[in-house]
Amino acid sequence: MAEAFISRFRHACLVLVVLVSFGVVLTRLVHLHVLEQPELLEVVENSRHREVLIPARRGNIVDTRGNLLAFTRTLWEVGVDPVVAAEVSEADILKVAAVLRLEPDVALEAFEPVVRNGRARRWAKLAERVDKDQYETLLEMQIPGVYGNPQYVRNYPSGAHASHVLGYVNHQQVGVTGLEHTLDFYLKGQEGYRESERDGRRRELAQFRSREIQPRDGLNVELTLDQVIQDLAEEALHWAMETYKPKGATIIVSEPATGYLLALANAPDFDPNHYGKYPISHHRNIALTDIYEPGSTFKIVAASAALEENLVQPGDRFKTGLSAAEYRGRNVALPKDHHIYEELSMGEIVVKSSNRGAAFLGMMLGENRLYDYSRRFGFGEASDLGLPGEVNGILHPVKRWDGLTITRLPMGHAVSATPMQVHMAMSVMANDGILMEPQVVKRIFDETGDTLSFFHPKARRRVVSSETVRTMTGLLNLVVSDEGTAGKAQLNGFEVAGKTGTTQKIVNGRYSNRHHVASFSGFFPARQPRVVVTVIIDEPDFGATGYGGQVAAPVFQRLGAGIARYLSIEPVRDRMDTLVAWKGGKLGRSE
């Protein structure tokens, strides 16, 4: 047979095509195996290598009696790999939808294979926050490609209960406000991780696990709060909000001897389980972040200081009917009083809450001593409670005082304080003259209950002597009587000591006659105090002036009665043998 004729040109073209083809392949191989080898090896390794973070469970927060205030639930985010589940029948898909309470169309769409950018979809979420029973039911069904990833969800079983103390965590389980933020380091724990390999279908090859570090769950926190007293405080707060329709309100309850807070409640509040549904202003802990002029509750500073410095005795009398007085060679205008008394004793200045009388006490002390005692009582400095957002308040140094400050500061003007600062100042009177550091965390403990850190009571400093405290307690006891400004704070069978405050708010640069802050801060039993309670009512709708004795004192009475029952505080049996208090121009037994 004759050989087929092939022209030289066609032969050359064929050889050239073959050589070019081999050249292209060889060039590509060199490019892949030499030039791009490191990058491609990394891609291959990443495709096979699997590193999974294992989240840690956040620690619990409990009250002083072990009641759960915040804990973490384990839930699952459930989804499907449509590639693996390609052979799953429609009947099985509908079973999955029934367990997860999904619409059938939603489940069918999730199982549908989808190709994007040349790659098949490998995950479609079916449901999140699936509880344990639902997830175990799904696992028993053994549907290929359906699996879940555990997720932790923070839960606050009592809703808005103590919300400003607890705070909340965001969707990434990071503490944002309150103790969730302050103690995030202890509560969050330490994540673990697992390294292994996976096959072409992205299934884990357990036999190739190279490293697995188990997570360490977060530590638990015990607070000083008592859930029952917190409930009583919040009930009293809600009653005040409904009765007086104020702009806001705060109640603080603490143990005077330790500084431990038993309750802290603000209104308006929020539910940390659904924090996003509330205005951001509701998240603010106004007991620490908002300041106001404390008004007459501040008079305990000037009165105590004058007694401590032996400048005055309870029986010394002052001409409180004057509108001006001489101070260091010049006439100084005295503040106005709601009731003008021509003459009052020092004790009556406290009991009747005389602004002009307080001004006389301030002038007797002088600028430096008045400022120093104000600082000693804790004004102008943060209380260091440990909750975020706390401010120092405003107490100007003497060099920044104007000509009226010496007469206005003793009555609680020309100074701005947080409710917590006012509360701790009154606690000095209830704690034998010692200023304690307020605390809301008692201890940090692990899952076995072993205490890792205990927060003991901390005394900041002695402010005044025990003798001064005894005299002041007698006067404050008379404040809470029919003779004083806080008659409505009386508790049947108990000795109560305290002080009212009524402050005009500054609106458009001037003191307003319609906008007030009403307050009462007191303690009982007066001789052996068990609790200190402070009530602040911001702009009560009272029809007339919302005096502290008319608005805040009844809230104290309502709350105090509940606390006395809960703590089983014994009432005073013999009312004739009670505190030494100012009566009729000399010290005697109160009647």
Q: Which string of DSSP letters, residue by residue, matches 510-553?
A: EEEEEEEEEEEEEEESSSS--EEEEEEEES---SS---HHHHHH
pLDDT at 445 over 90: yes
The pLDDT of residue 68 is: 96
Question: Which of 106-115, 298-307, 431-440, 480-489 is the least confident region?
Answer: 106-115
Where does 199-316 show beta strands of DSSP type E?
204-205, 211-213, 220-223, 248-254, 261-267
Q: Is residue 274 part of a domain?
A: yes
What's the confidence (pLDDT) of residue 252?
98
pLDDT at 210: 57
Going by C-alpha positions, the residue among 455, 439, 589 that lies closest to residue 527 is 589
Q: Are residues 541 and 577 in the same domain?
A: yes
pLDDT of residue 590: 35
pLDDT above 60: residue 574: no
Say which CATH number the domain at 244 has: 3.40.710.10
Q: Could you say which of 218, 249, 282 is where a domain stops?
A: 218
The answer to whether 347 touches 307, Cβ cutoff 8 Å, is no
CB burial readout 231-259, b (16+ within 10 A) else e: bbbbebbeebbebbebebbbbbbbbbbbb
On whether residue 32 sits in a domain, the answer given is: no
Nearest to 70 by CA among 162, 137, 149: 162
In this model, does residue 293 exceed pLDDT 80? Answer: yes
State whether 175 and 63 are in the same domain.
Answer: yes
257 and 155 assigned to the same domain: no
Residue 1, pLDDT above cutoff 50: no
Q: For residue 377, what pLDDT band results from cuts at 50, 70 and 90?
A: very high
> Is pLDDT above 90 for 355?
yes
Predicted confidence (pLDDT) at residue 582 exceeds the cutoff of 60? no
Buried b (16+ CB within 10 A) or exposed e, 46-75: eeeebeeeebbbbbbbbbbeebebbbbeeb
* Residue 141 resides in a domain: no
12-55 pLDDT per residue, tens: 888 888 888 888 888 877 776 776 667 666 655 555 555 667 78
Q: Is 277 exposed, middle or buried, given 0-12, 13-18 or 19+ CB atoms closer than 10 A?
A: exposed
Helix (H, G, I), strand (E, B) or coil at 590: coil
How many whole angstroms separate alpha carbon 149 and alpha carbon 147? 7
Share the mean pLDDT of the chain.
88
Number of domains observed in the structure of the chain? 2
d(CA 358, CA 349): 7
- pLDDT tier at 462, thresholds 50, 70, 90: very high
Which pLDDT tens digit goes with each residue over 130-145? 888 888 888 888 888 8
pLDDT of residue 63: 97
CATH of the domain at 65: 3.90.1310.10
Q: Which of 109, 49, 50, 117 is nearest to 82 (CA)?
A: 109
Q: Which of 218, 244, 269 is the last residue of a domain?
A: 218
3-class SS of residue 445? strand
Question: 277 and 178 in one domain?
Answer: no
- Mean pLDDT for 194-208 is 54
Q: Structural domain of residue 63, as residue ranges?
A: 52-72+146-218
Global pTM value:
0.85
